[in-house]
Structure 1
Amino acid sequence: MNNASPQDFVRDNTTLTTTPLLPEVKLHLATEVTPLWQATEETLAATNLPPPYWAFAWPGGQAVARLLLDRPDLVAGKSVLDFAAGTGLVGIAAMKAGAGRAQSCDIDRFALTAIALNADANGVEVKAVSADLVGRDLPGIDVVLAGDVCYEKPMADRVTGWLRGIAATGTLVLLGDPGRAYVPRSGIEKVASYTVPTSLELEDREMRETVVWRLLPEA
């Protein structure tokens, strides 16, 4: 395993499956949390990887993906950015909903591998992008989608401040949030809500009421 490629590591530590909320989308997901966390820490410690967030379909991303499949008009024919993509679920859902193109961005190279494998499993083309885009302009992007990015205050403040600037250019910005502590309290507009089944290994309850918010230019 020490010499495993990212593709082999993702395949060996996940199962190709679906979630109850999104039976249309197949993803390589960890069926148990602890073994994968240990494998990442022990086998890949030398690479200084972050925790394997890419192996779980987090509630915020699931809600955004469900919205796109329910409301394809939001992305049909448009250029979409799936920010902090993890599994690539949201970008994949966008393409299934008829987006013109989708980019899924993450800074974890194993997430980029998972995105590619998951897109292939669903028969769609999603460009995996390795970059920290926060603070940058996004020319040519019509819709920015972000699931579950408000769980830590420094990140939430940095990301939402940047995305408000993006929204001010006319870009549609949607945030999926399952009640994290640092989601903005103002300057947001409710678009939809879903009850998302979750695991007690990852969350403090078995169901998360998850809202998709439109982020407005000003709080």
Structure 2
Amino acid sequence: MIPVTPISDAAQFVRTHTRLAPASPDFLTEVQLHLADQVFDLWAQTETVSGRTDAPPPFWAQAWAGGLALARYVLDHPETVAGRRVLDLASGSGLVAIAALRAGAASVTVSEIDPLALDALALNAAANGVTLGPALGDVLDTDPTPAADVVLVGDAFYERTMATRVLAFLHRARSAGATAFVGDPGRAYLPRTEFNALESYAVPVQRELEDAETKLTTVWRLT
């Protein structure tokens, strides 16, 4: 079960510390998100207001390169998700989930462990006029439930343990008949030999977060 945040009005907290803007003005304008200009400052605010020194980073307040590339791919190739049941892992802002719905997915279930992210997801879905399916917590050690035809993963291979768990889940999903797509900007723990590259993009990113102006980001399909 997802723990309840002690922030008294989490949705208002998200609104106050973000601005509604295109996911990427120079790369992906079809989706609007509540984004923070200073993620590290927002992280400090989250810890202060929640009273938690272990509050997770506000991944939901940025459109990360892997998610941007995967959302771009889905919008440009709607046949990837059209009419299918989609699961968006580590959904964060909901960028990829919203893109999938815009591309004609029959339904999109999201998996996210940060309670604030769930509020951001709801706000972002409303801002884009779409309705997300169930919001699940950590599903990585389970079988894919509810059943999914397509699993989407934007930028989740940044840490070894997380990458191992995500890959194992994707293998189980594939065994159950799902197709898995990953957007990744060259993170260290993506096992490239497990995937086929589909398309690459030069994605604009924040230098504060990525130490670069753009990241070459690839959309992969699990083989």
TM-score (norm 2): 0.92
Residue 102 (str. 1) matches residue 104 (str. 2): no
List aligned pairs for 1:9-158, cutoff 5 A: 9-18=13-22, 19=24, 20-46=26-52, 48-138=54-144, 139-158=146-165
Deviates more, 1:122-131 or 1:175-184: 122-131
1 CA distance for matches of 2:173 and 2:51? 36
For these two proteins, the number of residue pairs brought into alignment is 215
| Structure 2 spans left out of the alignment, 5+ residues | 1-5
Q: CA RMSD in A?
A: 1.5
Q: Is the 8 A contact 1:17 1:29 kept in 2?
A: yes
Q: Is the 8 A contact 2:47 2:53 kept in 1?
A: no
Residue 48 of structure 1: how far off its partner (Å): 4.6
CA distance change for structure 1 residues 128 and 169 in 2, over 3 Å: closer, same or farther?
A: closer
Q: Which runs of 4+ in 1 moved over 6 A?
A: none
Deviates more, 1:133-142 or 1:205-214: 133-142
Q: Is the 8 A contact 1:116 1:128 kept in 2?
A: no
Q: Is the 8 A contact 1:107 1:131 kept in 2?
A: yes
Deviations 1:168-217 (A, max 9, x none): 2221100110000000031210111111100111102110000010012x
2 CA distance for matches of 1:173 and 1:46? 35
Q: Is the 8 A contact 1:106 1:132 kept in 2?
A: yes
CA distance change for structure 1 residues 57 and 3 in 2, over 3 Å: closer, same or farther?
A: closer
